[in-house]
Structure 1
Amino acid sequence: MLTMNFNTTNSTFRQLLGNGLRYHVPPFQRDYSWSEVEWDELWQDIEALFSEDAESAHYMGYLVLQTTNNKQFDIIDGQQRLTTLSIMILAGLSLLKDLVNNDIDALRNEQRLQQLKSNYIGYTDPVTLIEKPMLQLNRHNDKYYRNHLITLDKLPQRGLHASEHRIRKAFNWFQIKLKQKFGMENDSGQNFAQFLDELVDKLFFTVITVNDELNAFKVFETLNARGVRLSSTDLLKNYLFSLASVDDPHDSQIKHLEERWESIIRLLGSESFPEFLRVYWNSSHKLIRKTDLFKTIRKHIRNKSEAFELVKQIELSADAYTALKDTQDARWVEESKYLKQLSMYRVKQPFSVLLASYEKFFESDRAGFLSIVRAISILSFRYNVICNNPPNEQERFYNNIAIKIDSNQLGSAQSIIKALDEIYPNDEVFKSAFSVKQLKTTDNRNKKIVRYILCEFESKASQVAIDEDNDKFNIEHILPENPDESWGSIDDSKIDGLTYRLGNMILLEANKNRVVGNQSYQEKVKIYNTSSLHMPQRLNQHYNEWSQDSIESRQKQLAKLASSIWKISELS
């Protein structure tokens, strides 16, 4: 079992840069990416620290570092913030240089320039005149940062990477802000130095220090689960690219790998990379937990060729995965309907099987692939939505099927569907669960599902397809959510339990739904009879009054109907 070997402290920016500490952005971490939006947000926060009634400090968030000696640290998360603060300080030092060049308190401003640079940026080796910065950026950004920003020379503008342009623009942006704030007066250098001396004690971070990548990935997963989004994607990228750079490969190889990686990120868009990666891995390997994902990949991928092959396969699967998540993807025809249902149910467990099935059957057996998607949608409705069975066992089950698809043990769509029988709730189990099912329509997901169910019932009863996206129709609660005194025969303590029973709901035209409101059942029935829909019209033929018995009786009848609608015929 992996030991979580890390410690957590709160540190000011001054403390981070003290005692000769050095920080290194791993070579294949993402490039500098902040823009004016982030610069301005940071600047506004800093300005607020010096206003009247200001807070005593500003929290800069988590900083995740990796070290083996507590003197040199790899920045696993937080490089954008540290880089921007360094750029801002350098912009301030350029202000001091301008004061010196304009002979404004030149001697003391030169002393301030050298001292502040030594405190917060680094020093210049007196023999080689090479800069020894406290912060080393990644392989695309460090040369520009070290050779041009730290030296406070004129910044070149041509032949730069996009991220180098962003660094240059950030420097110029903070130059303008600081010059506007402090001007070019006799006391400008002193005022800037005092501002910076106070600022480095007002900015503080929660610093998490780990001893290796495995612990770093554990930290990412823990914090991400708590809603703090960190770049575990970058951690994995750095590991794979470090393997790929062994034996000093040609830049063209790394460039090719970077292009593939960027393609993956573009393909995934808003989808979670770690979530996709786990689905990808589980579609052909033994099930792993999210917290073991990085450890498992690191165990399997140990050399350059394996790293290149993994990135290639990830890129291919990312295309299929994002398509399976996008019901509007141009490649779908009938599949779109069932993928939309899976999205509505919010089930994730089947995606390893869907991904494996797509890769095996989409090109060679399109009809077979469609039948798999349909079967999984029906199974998810029975298993997850109605029976509310535990998802953990389901995930292991799907993982086993995905592995068998990948290894050709399940070589046809029919054999895959047959294999679903192991967790497929049979008709008796399904009808029993459906007969007592409640779905509270105050929840948006439940509301969509109930609307879909009612549309399917109406389509089955009337033999006319009803589109659940048609806003002409609403969900009508026969026993109202807020009943008036005419419903006094139903015990108040039972109203909540009955209102959201599936047997208490019908589909009704929106304009009629507004009219019926909270009226009595007898008054509602008069309006139901004028509906164009089959089920409201027929309601009073079966029920003269509306009571708990009526709801339970109707729901049992609907359960029988449901078992014929949501049915995998191959498993009947």
Structure 2
Amino acid sequence: MALQLNAEQKYILKIFGDKTKYIIPPYQRAYTWTESECEELFEDLKTAFQKNKSEGYFIGNLVLATSARDEFEVIDGQQRLTTLIMLLKVLWAFDAKNRKLKNTIWILDDRTDAIIEQRVITNIFIERDSLSFNEVLDENYQYEKPQNKKDKFKTNIYFFYEKIKDFIDQDGNDIKDFIDFILYDVSLLPIFTEAENTAKAREKALKIFETMNNRGMPLDDSDIFKSNLYYMANRHNEQDTFVELWKSFDERCEAIDDKLKLRAFKIYSYMTRGEQGIKSSEIGLRDFFEKTEYSPFKKKTYREILDDLNRIVDSVEYFEETKQQSDNELAKWFQLIDLYTNAYPKDTVIVYLVKNNLNVGSDNTTKFAKSLVRQSYAKGSTTYIKHDMYDLVIKIMHEKWEVFYDKNYTCPYGFGRLYRGFELLEKYLDSNQLSVYPYKLKRRMYDMPGKATRELYERFFRGEQ
């Protein structure tokens, strides 16, 4: 069945009308727009008002999910939506008697016009984000230059306040005409999916988002998994505990590599597949964790999952620190694994380290790492190595791995993209040579190994030295 969606271009007054409210979910990233993006938006609106007023102005798309009347989860467009609501709030400071403008910022009581709640609500659990956003949208907020320039909400709303003052005082524009232009001639295109529950509606909306998104920074799967874990904690009223645990995990990952969160989930999937004895090709990470019956999300608590993820980070830290050590036997083999042309062998050694809780003798770990170098380098540079790694992960998880040798190995005349790894391997096949870091390599991609070097490699891969 085709994916069903609803889309209708609407003016600002309709976007923020009736009882409609927009929820920014926990998995979204923090607010990141700076004065630069705010200025671009304001200048575009001002130009459209002054030169093309009759044509109106289109701001862009919103991708939304809903399972409840008048309540939409924001999948894409939160930066634009959040900034727009702050601009409307500033405009209201110059036209406070405008009920329709006030009604775009807050949902109002039909009879008293009292504020019931904000139109845009953030559930992002970065405390400073939600608190600061709520503060600038308070009815009595004072527009003053913020002392903390890192607070993007206060910085940006003050920027708009100063811009509107100049727009009126220096440029001589009629603020009421400009506000009417914003409300009646500026439009967005909300695209939303509906389902019987939020999770299903979100899944549909994310598919739309992934299909149409070709700019900016799309959400990655780790953002969605963060949300799933948050809701798991929410069922037990442990949101605050989860927030602290996730912040710690997030900070540890960022300190090593900004892509480590997603990689940790991928390694976690390998471990789970290994436990289940699965050798087949991988499926998408989101499908793996959200749909398979053996997913940790269906078998474990959020605390257990975060414990597992932190153990993976522990092992990545150990690998990264060890490979940078000089005069260390294990560092030699970690360096060579790191030089392989894709991440499958490196992720496999992380699985080994996690499985063994880092409490393994250096001889055992060195034996495994050396064997892994043989197994991966013997195949050359290829993505097909993943099938060997799937099988090896199963053996690791069931404690049945064996040292690898290729008794029929014949050294090629060229090493392709692995030429740097083979050059380092040649140095380290000298039994007296311990690790060197940083190492300098000179071989070029098309350099051919001599006969003696070829024989040296063959003895290594065949297990004859």
TM-score, normalised via structure 1 length = 0.62
Instruction: Call closer, same or farther: CA 1:563–1:48 in 2, change over 3 Å.
Output: farther
1:234 corresponding residue in structure 2: 223
2:83 corresponding residue in structure 1: 84
Instruction: Call closer, same or farther: CA 1:119–1:468 in 2, change over 3 Å.
Output: closer
Instruction: Call closer, same or farther: CA 1:427–1:396 in 2, change over 3 Å.
Output: closer
Give the aligned length: 442
Query: Does the alignment pair 1:381 with 2:369?
Result: no
CA deviation map 1:32-74 (0-9, x unaligned): 4325xx33224224414655999996765x7442222574211
CA deviation map 1:86-109 (0-9, x unaligned): 112212222334xxxxxxxxxxxx
CA distance in 1, matches of 2:446, 2:372: 25
- Aligned-residue CA RMSD in angstroms? 4.7
2:122 corresponding residue in structure 1: 137
CA-CA distance at 1:369 after TM superposition: 0.9
Instruction: Call closer, same or farther: CA 1:568–1:11 in 2, change over 3 Å.
Output: farther
**5+ unaligned residues in a row in structure 2: which ranges?**
none
Query: Does the alignment pair 1:123 with 2:108?
Result: yes
Query: Does the alignment pair 1:569 with 2:463?
Result: yes
CA distance in 1, matches of 2:323, 2:441: 23
Q: Which amino acid aligns with 1:313?
A: D
CA deviation map 1:502-555 (0-9, x unaligned): 43xx7xxxxxxxxxxxxxxxxxxxxxxxxxxxxxxxxxxxxxxxxxxxxxxx6x
CA distance in 1, matches of 2:422, 2:74: 51
CA deviation map 1:170-202 (0-9, x unaligned): 32232123223333887542353155247733x
Instruction: Call closer, same or farther: CA 1:293–1:189 in 2, change over 3 Å.
Output: same
2:314 corresponding residue in structure 1: 319
CA deviation map 1:387-409 (0-9, x unaligned): x4x52xx43443343344334x3
CA-CA distance at 1:82 after TM superposition: 1.6
1:196 corresponding residue in structure 2: 182
2:365 corresponding residue in structure 1: 369
Tell whether the 8 Å contact from 1:88 to 1:171 is kept in structure 2 after alignment. Answer: yes
Query: Does the alignment pair 1:290 with 2:284?
Result: yes
Query: Does the alignment pair 1:399 with 2:351?
Result: no
CA distance in 1, matches of 2:293, 2:76: 19
Task: Report matched runs for 1:41-60 at 5 Å.
Answer: 41-48=37-44, 50-51=46-47, 60=60
Tell whether the 8 Å contact from 1:224 to 1:230 is kept in structure 2 after alignment. Answer: no
CA distance in 1, matches of 2:365, 2:438: 26
CA distance in 2, matches of 1:152, 1:78: 27
CA-CA distance at 1:151 after TM superposition: 1.9
Q: Which has the larger displacement, 208-217 or 85-94?
A: 208-217
2:301 corresponding residue in structure 1: 306
CA deviation map 1:461-514 (0-9, x unaligned): 9x9999897779564xxxxxxxxxxxxxxxxxxxxxxxx7543xx7xxxxxxxx
1:65 corresponding residue in structure 2: 64
Tell whether the 8 Å contact from 2:423 to 2:441 is kept in structure 1 after alignment. Answer: no
1:22 corresponding residue in structure 2: 21
Q: 1:246 aligns with which of 235, 238, 241?
A: 235
CA deviation map 1:203-236 (0-9, x unaligned): x568464742444565677678999532432322
3-state SS, counterpart of residue 131 of structure 1: strand
CA distance in 1, matches of 2:209, 2:219: 6
CA-CA distance at 1:157 after TM superposition: 11
Q: Which amino acid aligns with 2:376?
A: S
Q: Which has the larger displacement, 267-276 or 178-187?
A: 178-187
**5+ unaligned residues in a row in structure 1: which ranges?**
98-109, 411-415, 440-445, 476-499, 507-553
Q: Which amino acid aligns with 2:159?
A: W
Q: 2:5 aligns with which of 4, 7, 10?
A: 7
